[in-house]
Amino acid sequence: MAKGHVMVLPMPCQGHVTPLMELSHRLVDHGFEVTFVNTEVDHALVVAALPREGDGALLHGIHLASIPDGLADDEDRKDLNKLVDAYSRHMPGYLEALVAEMEAAGRPKVSWLVGDVNMGWSFPVAKKLGIRVASFWPASMACLAIMLKIPNLIQDGVLNDKGWPVREETLQLAPGMPPLHTSLLSWNNAGAPEGQPIIFDLVCRNNKFNDLAEIVVGNSFQEAEAGAFKLFPDILPIGPLFADSAFLKPVGSFLPEDERCLKWLDARPDGSVVYVAFGSMAIFDPRQFQELAEGLELTGRPFLWVVRPDFTPGLDKAWLHDFQQRVAGTGMIVSWCSQQQVLAHRAVACFVSHCGWNSTLEAVRNGVPVLCWPYFCDQFLDRSYVTDVWRTGLAVSPGEDGVVAKEEVKFKVDKVIGDAGFRKRAGWLKQAAAECVAEGGSSYENFTRFVELLSSE
């Protein structure tokens, strides 16, 4: 008999699906029945990318379900403003209908919603249906802390009531927290400026919806973000989350993983490979792509580079073919991979990353130094953790034209790999993360509390 039926709802982005899928596997391990609700588009991607035969309806004990996101088939889901506006208006009704359908089909009544904070609209829907609410924050605690402090920042004259900075200054909410310039706040860097009010409104509404949750948990750990957790001691870190140490349980990838790169890594010496990946949303223009490519070539080091099919629209195919021919002996390009397995590999020396929180935590968990290249949203804050707080890596510096030159790529990669201090501090953080999730650690104890609450009547 399952402990209870838990519905899990991520924001429809890869970086939100992954940690909630990892959490879902953990809940199944603890005896819960889990229904994981994606948008129809993301559900189709996840099922298509599953590395197994047969029906995609069940995933190691996780039931996969889907509802529409309110956008037409041909609309751009990488436009966060458009996506957020559509799902906030259309998904509440679809979620309610899904719960009714599941009950009509004889599924056990949903006892808890574990909802992404970014899907705060779902919390009143759950309450209306008699479902208890647990809130999950998938990014850094520092990011959530800044969002929760918006009223104070407005009151102090740092922001206006539309979320734009009034003053150009570097913010640091508390000792030990990452410093962040007011021009780099996540809601002001999520897409086209004209759509900013939609994102800022979402953040402010979600702050209020969060009050409906009986518990708020996050994918972080005490030692990584002690300053932020001190500000909000009621928010419980349960990370770094991972599904299983053998990497057998799928974590909801939107693209099929190319497993050839693991054999390729096996043939490389320890601590020799530069791993390059920019997550699921970043876009490079052709010039920046070429500078990065030639910078990797200049290092003379083996590299593994994840280039999604939509990463660089308009890239010259002949140029790319020529580049791949030149680096065939040292470099490997794949369209997607199991990043957790790659970062855990002994051959990886450093990670050139967009600094999404999942990627940042995966680097932390494996003690890998990072060269930071943030793209949007909260990634600038994560860069600040790496470069200013933990001191486990460096950041690229674009030229006056906004382009990171190939010489800069080579210089910074060499510096990150050549400085033993980065690896030493990354090793300390890896150890701290391992102790937090081990029996008796702070994340372990918080997760136990979470499971006990979800098990209660």
Query: CATH code at 349?
Result: 3.40.50.2000
Of 130, 65, 57, 58, the closest CA to residue 91 belongs to: 65
Residue 373 and residue 444: Cα distance in Å, rounded? 32
Say whether both 428 and 332 belong to one domain: yes
**Residues 237-247: tens digit of each pLDDT:** 999 999 888 88
Alpha-carbon distance values, 244 to 114, 248, 267, 414, 452 (Å): 20, 7, 25, 33, 21
Residue 255 within a domain: no
Residue 192 within a domain: yes
Say whether both 332 and 211 belong to one domain: no
Say whether both 233 and 328 belong to one domain: no
Say whether both 279 and 240 belong to one domain: no
> Is 425 within 8 Å of 385 (Cβ atoms)?
no
**Residues 326-359: tens digit of each pLDDT:** 999 899 999 999 999 999 999 999 999 999 999 9
403 class by beta-carbon count within 10 Å (0-12 exposed, 13-18 middle, 19+ buried): middle
Quote the pTM value: 0.96
Say whether both 212 and 286 belong to one domain: no
pLDDT score of 58: 58
Residue 59 confidence class, pLDDT cut points 50, 70, 90: confident
Residue 252 within a domain: no
Residue 254 within a domain: no
**Residues 210-263: tens digit of each pLDDT:** 999 999 999 999 999 999 999 999 999 999 999 888 888 999 999 999 999 999
Say whether both 448 and 358 belong to one domain: no
User: Does residue 318 surpass a pLDDT of 80?
Assistant: yes
pLDDT score of 1: 56
Residue 364 and residue 358: Cα distance in Å, rounded? 10
CA 303-308-309 angle, 5° bins: 130
Residue 251 within a domain: no
Residue 253 within a domain: no
Q: What is the mean pLDDT of residues 18-37?
A: 97
Residue 127 within a domain: yes
Domain membership of residue 347 as a residue range = 260-433
Q: What is the mean pLDDT of residues 22-32?
A: 96
Say whether both 351 and 204 belong to one domain: no
Residue 246 and residue 352: Cα distance in Å, rounded? 24
Residue 139 within a domain: yes
What is the DSSP code (8-state) at residue 318?
H
Say whether both 69 and 147 belong to one domain: yes
**Residues 388-405: tens digit of each pLDDT:** 999 999 999 999 999 999
Say whether both 339 and 447 belong to one domain: no
User: Does residue 53 surpass a pLDDT of 70?
Assistant: no
Of 234, 232, 116, 118, the closest CA to residue 177 belongs to: 232
Say whether both 21 and 150 belong to one domain: yes
Structural domains counted in the chain:
2
Q: What is the mean pLDDT of residues 5-28?
A: 97
* Upper half-sphere CA count for residue 379 (Cβ side, 13 Å): 23
| Coil vs helix vs strand at 114 | strand
Say whether both 379 and 392 belong to one domain: yes
Say whether both 382 and 264 belong to one domain: yes
